Structures are given as structure tokens and as C-alpha cells.
Structure 1
Amino acid sequence: MAKILVIRFSAIGDVAMTVPVIHSWATQYPRHQIVFLSRPSLAPLFSNLPDNVSFFNADLKGRHSGWKGLYVLFKELKALHFDAVLDLHNVLRTKYLSLLFRFIGTPVYVLHKGRWGKRKLIRRRNKKLVSQKNSFQRYADVFTKAGFPVLLNFSSIYGHEKGDFSIIQSVTGEKGNAKWIGIAPFAKHKGKIYPLELQEQVVAHFAQDDRVKVFLFGGGKEEEDCFKTWTDKYPTVTSLIGKLTMDTELALMSHLDVMLSMDSANMHLASLVNIPVVSIWGATHPYAGFMGWKQLPTNTIQITDLYCRPCSVFGQTPCYRGDYACLYGIMPVRVIEKIESIVF
């Protein structure tokens, strides 16, 4: 029996993208074990995985912070006697841990990020609009290098079921015959956020439709202020900020009929519970390899004939045109029609 340490610290979406690979591996290699090392806040993503997957908390803001803290973390992990280490992050912290494991003779296998292909995708001149290998396959490739080829056959963290409705009922009420639409309007970077004044038109449209119920997903002060404004205007809309944990949020997502999301973590979370996602892409592009698990390209909304996009892999690059045409050029009616084509 092999015991494997798998490392990925952030971000939420990237860690969520490891789940289909970890789950597929765990069901195909039931005699072997995985210990997944990440931040404590991300543990709920792994709570419904097979029994041969466990989670190890990396307290990167506490006892495991800094180089000394990482050495403490290494000593704690060393005591578990791993047969191999898989670094699915490939950043300074994980490179340091990998180096320490190599010193004691533990084989280490590292993620190849395909940076050169992505650079050609986003450069201003002579772009190469070629679809890059997706992150799921890149993660699976690391397992293959370690001697564990994996068939990616994941469907949902709940299998063929939905999440426990009883843990969300006090927040959502009964579903009945209504169609439930989740809307996650924010992302980490401006280049990935559909303008809020346009998104509000989408919210307003569905708020007036008694066949549906809208739930707003997000967190943070800016999002809370925005959601407060929207729910004051549209009382049938429900903000979930402060009402759910990640566990219960995933359970609620599993009961949605569709999620509207940016190229952000919520696209990936909804994908883990096998829910269709209408995703909006501005500065970024699905060709970079970050589309949600088994999401249909037909459910992406983007301007495909804009010469300057994509201009960023992660959305952090300021718009050099200055007008964010990639986002402002998407009309709300287009988003509405796509959602309605799925739920009705």
C-alpha cells in the first residue's frame, strides 16, 4: 500500500479543480492512500471523498508560517512516512517542502503549468488561440508520472445524489416547483467581473419571474454592500452572505438548476456538484484551461471576435484599451436567454 502526499495550497478554484482527479484516483486505487495538504478553510471540499483520502491542515498564517514554520510542517509530515509527494502547486512554499522531502529520499513529482503556451495565448501580437491542456489533465499527469495513471470519471462529490436538504432548508425554504438560480457576480480581479450595473439587469429580470428563486453567492464587504442594495430593491432575491458555511453552500448548489458565475471559484464549486454553469469570460478565456469540470462550451458567454482578448490568464492585467469592451460588450439579454434556455 502506498501513502501519497498531495500538495495544493490555493486558490479556492484551483484546489476545487483537484477534487475530480483526487476522487477518480481514490476510487481506482482503493488500497492506496492520499493525504491532501492545504489550508484549513478548504477542508470541506474533501469531506465527501472516499475513505482513502484524508486532509492535513497547513496553518500557513500560524505555526506553519514562514520558512521556519514550513520546516515545522515538514517534520510533522515526515512522521507520516510518505512513499511519494505530488506537488500540484509548484510555488516557492511547495518547492521548499519538496526539496526537504528529496533530501530524505522521498520521490517528488511536480505540476507542469504550461506557461509558454498560455503566454502565446494572451500576448498582444500574433496571438496563438490554441486551447491549452486543462488543469484537470495537468494534475492527472502528475499522478501518471508517479506511476498512478488515472481515468477521470468523477461526476459529483455527492455521487448520484444531492446534498442534504435539511441543512439548508432554514435558509432556502422549500423548493417546490420553482427553478433555483444561483448568481455569483464577483471574482478576484476586475478583468473577470461582468459590470455590476449589467448584472443587476439580469437579477432584476429573474426577481420578477415567479417561476424562479434567485440566490446570491459571495463574501466580503464589497459584495455584502452590493447584495444589500439588490435585495432591498428585489425582495424575492436571497443573499447567502453570512448564512452558510462551505459545506452547506455546496449542498445548496447541488439543488440549483443553474449557476451564473464569472471565471471564478463558484464556477468550480458548482461543477463539483454536477450543476450546469453559465460562465462569463472577459479578459480571460476558456482556452487557458480553467473551465469548470464537464461544463459545456455552449454555456460560456464571451465576445469571440475581439482582437485584444484574451489579455490575461488570471484576469489581473488592467485593460490596455481602458474600456473593458470584453465585458461591457455582453448584453444582459444574452445572459438571460442563456439561463432561460437551461431552466425552462
Structure 2
Amino acid sequence: MAASDYAVPENLMTDSTPSSILIIRPSALGDVCRTVPVLASLRSAWPDARIGWLIQEEFSEAVSAHPALDEVVPFPRQALRGAWKSPRRLLKTLAYLRSLSRPGWDLVLDCQGLARSGLFAWFSGAPRRVGFARAAEFGWVFLTDRIPCSQRHVVDRTMALISGIGVPVKMDMSLHVPDASSQQWRLHPQNPGAPYIVLAPRSRWASKEWPRERWCELMGSLAAHGHRDFVLVGSSSEQASIDEIAASVGVSGVRVASLAGRTSVGELLAIIQGANLVVANDSAPLHIAVGFSRPLVGLFGPTDPEEVGPYGALEHVLRPPTATGSGHDYRASSTSTNSLDGIALDQVLEHALDRLGAR
């Protein structure tokens, strides 16, 4: 039976009460953050259920402090990578898969929609495994209940899994910082100790990046309006280039702390929670900003914000008028019409000042 042939009964779950529920959304960080309404909805529907979240272990702090979550089920992706090349890693992978059934899950929601996440759902042993009817890589074959999802934005598509099983949607995007991470940021030697702006100037894909020299110009222009403290964030692979941006500002009185590759996910949440403004390419900091209701300006090119932009804040996204592409067209050449070169410095500055004034 093809995935498209599957019919989902109305109010599928209203006649049963699961005692244990597993959310599967291992990665990426931004996707994890915008899946939080699934957790909120499940907790609201079943306040006494035990709810776990299978998540890539390095991202676990994004959800570990959420009051609706009982358990983090870490996925050690790096330790298991390349299992098919190594008998030892293959045995570890099989042991990990077998371990997923031990908690005795009643209901699993595969919010990732890939073959790997579908396999996790199957190995969970849950009698009911819910996911996308058109999950990629034939991931739908591992599911018992395949939900048709035609919504445009990825958050709305994910929440269709919730409404598809008869659970009322609770659109709560709120994130929560682990206490230890809050304390670490309060005491951090590079905490500005004054109102600051967070910038995320890099991306894994060059086509999703605003030109690096404009980030320096933006900081100088914002400083001219009295906003002089900046915290730059990014991954460890982006550390060297972001450090270069921080060192290239060249404007007297501008204070820039480059923390790329030097923070945990929990500290990143704490940094963004305390920001007056977040300006970022299409990357996780935008979705974290949504989770803390922080003012933001998003810069998009080959990816369509109507599909993958900061949920509920699309009016604060800039995209070149010539840009084309869907939510996943980020491998396009940075010299194509999708290039963020078409976003002018003055546009970003105007939106940034407007968002700062709205505080």
C-alpha cells in the first residue's frame, strides 16, 4: 500500500489515553526548537503521561529544561556514525536500537520524517507509530498511522500530526534555559553586562549567508545609533570566520564578543534569551529567538521563509525580490539569483532599528 493510499480515521486517539509517549525529532537545532509545540500539545492533552524526546545528544539542552518533558532520550549520532563500515559501531548501533523499546512506549510521533527516524519509531516497539504519510526515504513504511500533511510552513505540517490524531493543537513555541546555562551566561567574562544585540552571520551553506563585510557595516551603523554591544554566535566550524568578522569592525567604541564555537546549546539559549535583538541568516538562532519572544530580523535567500522562516514573525524577514526556491533549496550557488547580496545594508538597519524601538 502506498503512503498516499492510507486514510487516517478522524479523532484517532480520542478513545485511548497513552501512558508513555515518545517524540522523535533528533535534529537539526532549529527544527528541534520549532517542534516544541508538539510537546506542549501532548502535555496539555495528557497531563499524566510520561513524555520523552529522542534527540541528538548535543542538542538535548534545547528541550531538557522544558517543564512538559519528563525524559530526554539521547541519540549519540557521532558515536554511531558510519556503523556500516565498522563491526564495532554496527554492534553499538544495534544495541542502541534495541534499547529504544525498554521504556515501553505506547505512542510515538516521528516528527523528522526520514528513514532513520522511522526506524527509531519501529524499534521503539510502540503499538502506535504516527508520522508523515509522505515521509522521505520511505520512512513511512515504519509507521502504523500516516498523516497527510499539505500545509506550507514546516511548523504547520508538523502540527498536522497532532491534529491528525485528534489532539487539540497548543501553539506554544516557548523554550526554557537550563538553570546551569543561565548561571554560566550570567557569570561569563564576555557577557556585556549591558543591553546587547546577537548576530548570527554564518550558515552551514554559503548560499544562505549575507555578505560578511555587511555584518561589520551593520555593527558600525547600529553603533552610530547608540547600540554598541554585540555578541556573535555560531558553530565551531564557523569560529574562525566569525572571529574575523568580530576583528574587522574597526569602529571605535563598538564592543564585540565572538562566542562562535565556544558555547553549549544551553548557553546559546541563555544568550538569545537576554538579547535586545537577534539578526541572523536562515539558521537556528532565529527559531530560538521565536522561542523567547525576542525581536528579530531574518535574512533569507534560497530558502522560502513561508516554508521555513521564523514562525509567527515572517513580517520581520527580508528576502531579495529576485529570490526563488522552496524550503530546502539551500545548496544553490551563492552567485545565483538566490544570493543575499540583494538585501541592502540600509534595509537591515531600518528593520533592526524598528525592532529595537518596538521593545
TM-score by length of 1: 0.81
Q: How far off its partner does 1:257 sit?
A: 1.1
Structure 2 residue corresponding to 1:205, chosen from 199, 221, 237: 221
Q: How far off its partner does 1:192 sit?
A: 1.1
Match of 1:333? 346
> Structure 2: how far apart are the matches of 1:143 and 1:330?
37
SS in 2 for 1:260: strand
Structure 2 residue corresponding to 1:40, chosen from 50, 57, 62: 57
> Structure 2: how far apart are the matches of 1:113 and 1:341?
41
SS in 2 for 1:80: coil
Residues 140 and 303 (structure 1 numbering): CA distance in 2 closer, same or farther, change over 3 Å? same
Match of 1:183? 199
Q: How high is the sequence identity, in percent, across the aligned residues? A: 21
Matches within 5 A, 1:74-153: 74-101=97-124, 106-112=127-133, 132-153=151-172
Instruction: Name stretches of at least 5 consecutive residues in structure 2 with no aligned partner.
Output: 1-17, 85-89, 137-149
1:54 aligns with 2:67: no
Residues 100 and 243 (structure 1 numbering): CA distance in 2 closer, same or farther, change over 3 Å? closer
> Structure 2: how far apart are the matches of 1:139 and 1:316?
21
SS in 2 for 1:170: coil
SS in 1 for 2:349: helix
Match of 2:144? none
Match of 2:32? 15
Cα-to-partner distance string for 1:123-182 (whole Å, 9 max, x where unaligned):
xxxxxxxx9532222222223334433321344436xxxx84663343344644x4x211
Letter in 2 for 1:341: D
Equivalent pairs, count: 316
> Structure 2: how far apart are the matches of 1:226 and 1:45?
23
Match of 1:254? 273
Match of 1:128? none
Q: How far off its partner does 1:183 sit?
A: 0.6
Structure 2 residue corresponding to 1:314, chosen from 325, 328, 338: 328
Stretch deviating more after TM superposition (135-144 or 260-269): 135-144
Residues 228 and 251 (structure 1 numbering): CA distance in 2 closer, same or farther, change over 3 Å? same
> Structure 2: how far apart are the matches of 1:134 and 1:318?
21
TM-score by length of 2: 0.78
Letter in 2 for 1:241: A
Contact 2:130 2:161 in 1 (8 A): yes
Residues 327 and 166 (structure 1 numbering): CA distance in 2 closer, same or farther, change over 3 Å? closer
Contact 2:289 2:296 in 1 (8 A): yes
Match of 2:43? 26
Cα-to-partner distance string for 1:252-305 (whole Å, 9 max, x where unaligned):
2111111001111111122222212200111111122x122332x22111123x
Contact 1:13 1:268 in 2 (8 A): yes
Q: How far off its partner does 1:200 sit?
A: 2.4
SS in 1 for 2:94: helix
- RMSD over aligned CA atoms reads 2.9
Match of 1:263? 282
Residues 59 and 331 (structure 1 numbering): CA distance in 2 closer, same or farther, change over 3 Å? same
Residues 325 and 5 (structure 1 numbering): CA distance in 2 closer, same or farther, change over 3 Å? closer
Residues 65 and 184 (structure 1 numbering): CA distance in 2 closer, same or farther, change over 3 Å? same
Instruction: Name stretches of at least 5 consecutive residues in structure 1 with no aligned partner.
Output: 116-130
> Structure 1: how far apart are the matches of 2:341 and 2:351?
17
SS in 2 for 1:73: helix
